[in-house]
């Protein structure tokens, strides 16, 4: 028996937004889902902006999204630190600091007064990735700290082209310290499962729409979600060869939602 889509998860960059500009059809796509009474969430690996700043950018772009509909890995990591009573050592972009307000943390390289367990939190630190900061993170890991990744994405698209994301730096630290990171962002299963639980439907009845074949499509497919890859954002021509059987392929978010509504 063929399943139908009862809820949707969107990636943001390259699907709904191009920088801070709405992708063609993005505003209408969300409105049409709302009219069809199909709930949706936004799931992003963006780790240069706080939850509040990203939500404001979405609103500025005309995308009608509530705070509860936006899930970010930084908030998940902050909750993990609190629940595990662990001190966070942050190797992140300064724009992400508000999401760790009120949580026991220290910036990488600073003197740490706290005792007890530690975790190195790695996001897209941008220019903050230097030999000094990476070596400080390495030393923390060698001393027993847990490694937490906010994004395992390999790259993202900026106005002037593709840029390295946090994933390659996480792999570097894993290799150097001989550890395995806990993934708070895509393609980590826990991030998708958080979205599935929030939507309240079975994974097979939820469709993820994304532009990254690795972080979005393969990650979502691994936890049983239906998937659609759009040919926008960071999509590369060879990506179409990598998608799992049953994955939809759409020119953009408008076409993806057209296909979804036609099958529902």
> How do beta strands 161-164 and 146-149 pair?
unpaired
Strand order in the sheet with 182-183: 105-107, 87-91, 118-122, 146-149, 182-183
Q: Give the pLDDT band of residue 87 (cuts 50, 70, 90).
A: very high
pLDDT > 60? residue 2: no
Angle 218-167-219 (CA atoms, 0-180°, nearest 5)?
Answer: 15
**pLDDT for the residue 240:** 87
Angle between helix axes 253-263 and 26-35 (nearest 10 degrees) is 20
DSSP 128-150: G--HHHHHHHHHHHHTT-EEEES
Smallest Cα–Cα separation from 233: which of 58, 91, 101, 44? 44
d(CA 70, CA 10): 10
- Mean pLDDT to the nearest integer, 91-116: 93
Q: Which two tokens stand for residue 253?
A: 């978010």
Q: Supply the pTM of this predicted model.
A: 0.88
- Mean pLDDT to the nearest integer, 101-125: 93
Where are any strands of DSSP class E within 84-174? Answer: 87-91, 105-107, 118-122, 146-149, 155-158, 161-164
Per-residue pLDDT reduced to its tens digit, 31-56:
999 999 999 999 998 899 999 999 99
């Amino acid at each position: 028996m063929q399943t139908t889509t009862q809820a949707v998860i969107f990636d943001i960059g390259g699907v709904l937004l191009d920088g801070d500009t709405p992708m063609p059809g993005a505003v209408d796509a969300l409105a049409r889902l709302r009219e069809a009474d199909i709930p949706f969430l936004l799931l992003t690996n963006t780790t240069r902006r706080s939850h509040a700043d990203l939500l404001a950018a979405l609103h500025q772009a005309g995308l009608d999204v509530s705070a509860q509909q936006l899930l970010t890995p930084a908030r998940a990591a902050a909750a993990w630190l609190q629940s595990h009573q662990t001190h966070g050592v942050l190797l992140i972009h300064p724009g992400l600091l508000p999401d760790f307000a009120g949580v026991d943390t220290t910036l990488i390289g600073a003197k740490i007064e706290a005792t007890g367990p530690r975790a190195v939190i790695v996001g897209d630190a941008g220019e903050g990735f230097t030999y000094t900061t990476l070596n400080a993170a390495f030393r923390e890991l060698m001393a027993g700290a847990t490694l937490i990744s906010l994004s395992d994405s390999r790259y993202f698209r900026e106005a002037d082209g593709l840029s390295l994301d946090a994933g390659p730096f996480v792999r570097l630290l894993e290799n150097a310290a001989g550890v395995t990171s806990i993934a708070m962002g895509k393609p980590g299963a826990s991030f998708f499962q958080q979205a599935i639980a929030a939507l309240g439907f079975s994974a097979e009845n939820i469709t993820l729409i994304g532009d990254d074949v690795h972080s979005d499509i393969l990650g979502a497919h691994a936890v049983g979600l239906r998937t659609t890859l759009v040919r926008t954002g960071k999509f590369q021509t060879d990506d179409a060869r990598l998608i799992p059987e049953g994955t939809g392929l759409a020119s953009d978010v408008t076409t993806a939602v057209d296909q979804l509504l036609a099958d529902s």
